[in-house]
Amino acid sequence: MVTVAFIIAFFFAMNIGGSGAAATMGAAYGSGTLPNKRIALFICAVAIFLGSLSGGEVVKTIGSGIVPTSILKTDLVVIVLAAATISLFAANVLGIPLSTSEITVGAVVGAGIAYQSLYISKLLWIVSFWLITPLAAFSFAFFISKWLKGKTLRQNKWVSFLLIIAGFFEAFSAGMNNVANAVGPLVGAGLLSVKHGIIFGGLFVALGALLLGSRVLETNGKKITTFSQLEGCVISGIGATLVIVSSIFGLPVPLTQITTSAIIGIGTTKSGFSIWQKQIVIQVLKVWVVSPIFSLAVSYSLIKLLLHSDVYTAIAIVSVCFATLGTISLKKTITEERRSFHEHGGGI
């Protein structure tokens, strides 16, 4: 079981690196500042590993700040990590982006509920920052973009260099905050020390970014090319700053949603508040709600099924979870079809 726990944790770490973490260099790559994909991913991997070495406080929060370490036995850690991995995999299959920080916290909370042992005050503090940090990212991006609007910047080489630095620190912040998602439960169960957890976790997240991040970097880079290099600096800089500050206080926060909120803030200065009616904003809100609840339910169900032999409760909860995700996925598909229909000259 200990071997299984390590395998799942490090597999989860590589997927974290290959998804959200690899996207941190998207602005630099997509704008052509770093045209070589391998170099961009290598810089990303180095920054992630360096950031992970400062992520001890977040590891402690995931490992012992949400539930008592007394309940984190090896079999329970396997279930918590499996629940987070299953949630991420199911979301990827259905095309619904989930925050790794939120699904990990949700999985740990599911274990706490199953054993009726949960630090409520700490959990509420964490959840409050899931709301505060995206709002802060939006506000900072909105006002900075307002201030920059109409200004021209002639020092293009300086801006290019600044964009690479901003991407580096965003990747650094991802390592500092997200490595805990994979190794926190192992540390909580006493299977790894905090020191060894951040080193090995950082290595596998960095390895995942290097080996699995190519497609995500390509997609993210193409999406961000609609922004100028200076706007890319603002987005990455805000994301990195908020996540690093949160990590210092041991708070696991959703980097993807923080970055998306910054993008929406810049978009609001260009298009006005009508952008809030677009599907991307609705999607962000769905992710914020669905991520922790889905992984919580999967974790709770697996514990009831495998450790408590409560088959009926597990079946009922899993059914509701997949029905909810299926509904969200169907609505997303219908929306995309309608958009496509309009773009090709159709009407409703």
What is the secondary structure of 125-181 as a DSSP string? Answer: HHHHHHHHHHHHHHHHHHHHHHHHTT-----HHHHHHHHHHHHHHHHHHHHHHHHHH
Angstrom distance (rounded) from CA 127 to CA 139: 19
In this structure, which amino acid lies at residue 50? L
For residue 96, the tally of other CB atoms under 10 A from its CB is 18
What spatial distance separates the first Cα and last Cα of the chain, rounded to whole Å?
Answer: 55
What pLDDT is attached to residue 152?
61
What pLDDT is attached to residue 347?
44
Q: How far is CA 234 from CA 167, 184, 257, 284, 305, in A?
A: 10, 31, 15, 20, 47
Contact 107, 298 (CB under 8 A): yes
Q: What is the 3-state secondary structure (H, E, C) of 310-329?
A: CHHHHHHHHHHHHHHHHHHH
User: Two tokens at 321?
Assistant: 């979870």
Q: 3-state class of 298 per DSSP?
A: helix
Contact 38, 108 (CB under 8 A): no
Q: Which of 281, 233, 237 lies closest to 261, judged by CA? A: 281
40 Cβ contact partners less than 8 Å away, ≥ 6 residues apart: 25, 28, 29, 34, 217
What pLDDT is attached to residue 115?
92
What pLDDT is attached to residue 25?
84
What pLDDT is attached to residue 197?
93
Residue ranges in the chain modelled with pLDDT below 50: 224-225, 341, 347-348
What pLDDT is attached to residue 348?
40
pTM: 0.84
Maximum separation of any 2 CA atoms in the chain, in Å:
67
What pLDDT is attached to residue 10?
93
What pLDDT is attached to residue 226?
64
Contact 245, 173 (CB under 8 A): no
Contact 31, 163 (CB under 8 A): yes
Helix orientation angle between 37-52 and 214-224, rounded to the nearest 10 degrees: 100
Q: How far is CA 330 from CA 73, 276, 325, 333, 336, in A?
A: 38, 21, 9, 5, 10
CA–CA–CA angle 72, 73, 76 (5° rounding): 80
